[in-house]
Structure 1
């Protein structure tokens, strides 16, 4: 099945609240989808600043944080963590302007793969404040506005196969700055990118901790078509999460699922070298 067809099938599944697997099992998602959509929250910059302050004022729930860097998809990382941890958060490398990015048209990037495979798209449609804000603000640094989609069912494998048993994760939807477009159209703002990455990533981690995630799936956020430097993104997360960082001990396990099929594997190695 082609990606565009798969996206259409996913939209139908979300509308009907059920699907049939290859084995003939009918899987009902109605309750899980309703729970996720009803509890989806849109967060503004101001609210996230307060959440970060609140989180960092509390004692850390874990004595240490374990790290793992794996050349794999986000879905594979999420599935593995769900089998060993209670509350898994997953970062959605989001489009700032379109729910699910270009998944309806068959586009292929991290957000599109998540939107095809989970209840995420239906959740994102609840938060047009996020998309309207970014459409009306011209800078491709984008903003710290975020969407939190709790207990969202994932019901496909990477190859599109429908799962006999869906599993639940929390999705954090946040756009990285579009470094490529900023460099081309807003060159005076290029120097702001490191600070934007630092601030926004700290809010992502704060939001995950605030919602009680004990494990996270992160990755090469903004390092694809947005053209952020993998070394910079990896170093930014490292500064927050290492043993002297503000977020050490807030999560039991952090996996960087970094899919890199290039021959030199520059992106994967950037994260491997940090963690």
Structure 2
């Protein structure tokens, strides 16, 4: 699919959502950086998978295999809902935006993008948007599929490639990842789809991103056992290997 075709699909998606083809757009909730969130209780065990699949593929797979709602991390542009989806850009957020009502939901919480447009720090902030029950109705090839619903957790990773001065990227990633997990827990999600957040155009080191999540979800971590299943869906093998290593699990196909 070329850029022109992707832009045409984005326009069609916007039209279908505006027409109400998949029901009303769920309102999103913006969680500010210092807002109290739920803390995990004691005990519990989590299954962590690192898989060769996209976020969309993992979301569809999990939705088909259980009734508990699935929450997916949207690797967000800090400044524009859906990133460059309308002009046919291609990255994880753009794929989600073309395939669902995510952008329409994000537009109900405009403060997230307005705040980041107004400030120039490429580290961005720990704001997280929760979009519940968003209808998803396309696959990765752009084909219409039987709709299913997932929640989206929208958060911008720091833009490491735009930094002009040294920064504690590992600390920022860990703190922001904790906010993502805290928002998921606050909204009652037990199954998550995460991934190589910020490891594309933002140029974060996948080993650092993997370490941030492993510190939080692994043995002794703040969110150890807080979720039933966490899938790191990483279709690029170079990005996937650090996640498999960080969690001590095999790098395997989905399913």
TM surpasses 0.5: yes
Aligned match for 2:171, one of 164, 174, 195: 195
Unpaired runs of 5+ in structure 1?
19-28
For residues 192 and 129 of structure 2, the distance between their equivalents in structure 1, rounded to whole angstroms, comes to 16
For residues 118 and 129 of structure 1, the distance between their equivalents in structure 2, rounded to whole angstroms, comes to 21
- For residues 33-56 of structure 1, the C-alpha deviation after alignment (integer angstroms, 9 at most, x for no partner) is 33x13xx11111121xx11xx324
The 5 A counterparts of 1:1-275 are 2-18=5-21, 29-30=22-23, 33-34=24-25, 36-37=26-27, 40-47=28-35, 50-51=36-37, 54-56=38-40, 59-60=41-42, 63-85=44-66, 86-163=68-145, 165-182=146-163, 186-187=164-165, 190-260=166-236, 265-275=237-247
- For residues 26-82 of structure 1, the C-alpha deviation after alignment (integer angstroms, 9 at most, x for no partner) is xxx12xx33x13xx11111121xx11xx324xx25x721001111111001111111
Unpaired runs of 5+ in structure 2?
248-255
**Cα RMSD over matched residues?**
1.2
Contact 1:64 1:243 in 2 (8 A): no
The CA deviation at 1:273 is 1.0
TM-score using structure 1 length? 0.86
The CA deviation at 1:170 is 0.6
The CA deviation at 1:254 is 0.4
TM-score using structure 2 length? 0.92
For residues 93 and 12 of structure 2, the distance between their equivalents in structure 1, rounded to whole angstroms, comes to 17
Q: Which runs of 4+ in 1 moved over 2 A?
A: none
SS at match of 1:55: coil
The CA deviation at 1:193 is 1.2
Between Structure 1 and Structure 2, whose CA radius of gyration is higher? 1
The corresponding residue for 2:253 is: none
Aligned residues: 243
